[in-house]
Amino acid sequence: MSRADEPSAEFDQRDEPLISLENVEVNFEKDQGLFDLFEEPDVVKAVDGVSLDIEENDVLALVGESGCGKTTLGKTTIGLQRPTGGTVTYKGQDIWAAKDGDGEIPFDEIRSSLQIIHQDPGSSLNPNRRILNILAEPIKLTHPEAGTSERRERIHALLERVGMNPPSDFADRYPHQLSGGEKQRVALCRALLMNPDVILADEAISALDVSLRVEMMDLMLDLQSEFDTSFVFVSHDLSNARYFAEHGDGRIGVMYLGNLVEVGPADQLIGDPSHPYTNVLRWATPNLSRQSGEAGEPPMRRIDIPDPVNPPSGCRFHTRCPEAREACREVPRLQQSGEAAGHRVACFRDDPNHSYWDSDPLTEEGD
Ligand X SMILES: Nc1ncnc2c1ncn2[C@@H]1O[C@H](COP(=O)(O)OP(=O)(O)OP(=O)(O)O)[C@@H](O)[C@H]1O
Contact 348, 332 (CB under 8 A): yes
* Radius of gyration, alpha carbons of the chain: 22
The least CB distance from residue 202 to ligand X, in Å, is: 8
- Separation CA 111–CA 92 (nearest Å): 15
Q: Considering beta carbons, is residue 72 or 195 the nearer one to ligand X? A: 72
Name which position in 71, 93, 274, 279 contacts ligand X (CB under 6 A).
Answer: 71
From the list 66-74, 126-134, 139-147, 212-220, the region that binds ligand X by CB under 6 A is: 66-74
Q: Does 44 bind ligand X (CB under 6 A)?
A: yes
Residue 126 CB partners (closer than 8 Å, separation 6+): 134, 175
Q: Does 332 bind ligand X (CB under 6 A)?
A: no
Site for ligand X in 249-308 (CB under 6 A): 308
In whole angstroms, give the CA distance from residue 92 to residue 42. 34
CA gap 162, 178 in Å, rounded: 14
- Tell me if the bond preceding 166 is cis, omega within 30° of 0: yes
Binding to ligand X by residue 77, rule CB under 6 A?
A: no
Using the rule CB under 6 A, is 11 a contact of ligand X? no
Residue 236 in the binding site for ligand X (CB under 6 A): yes
Determine the residue type at 133.
N
The torsion angles phi and psi of 99, rounded to 5 degrees, stand at -60, -35
Q: Which is nearer to ligand X, 18 or 257 (CB)?
A: 257
Residue 26 near residue 46 (C-beta atoms within 8 A): yes
Cα–Cα dist 71/201, whole Å: 10
Q: Which is nearer to ligand X, 72 or 115 (CB)?
A: 72
Asked if 93 and 11 touch (Cβ cutoff 8 Å), the reply is no
Asked if 66 interacts with ligand X (CB under 6 A), we say: yes
Residue 328 CB, shortest distance to ligand X, in Å, is 22
Q: Nearest distance from residue 212's CB to ligand X, in Å?
A: 20
Q: Please report whether residue 64 would count as binding ligand X according to CB under 6 A.
A: yes
Q: How far is the CB of 28 from ligand X (least distance, A)?
A: 3
- Does residue 8 belong to the site contacting ligand X (CB under 6 A)? no
Binding residues for ligand X, rule: CB under 6 A, are 28, 44, 46, 64, 66-72, 236, 308
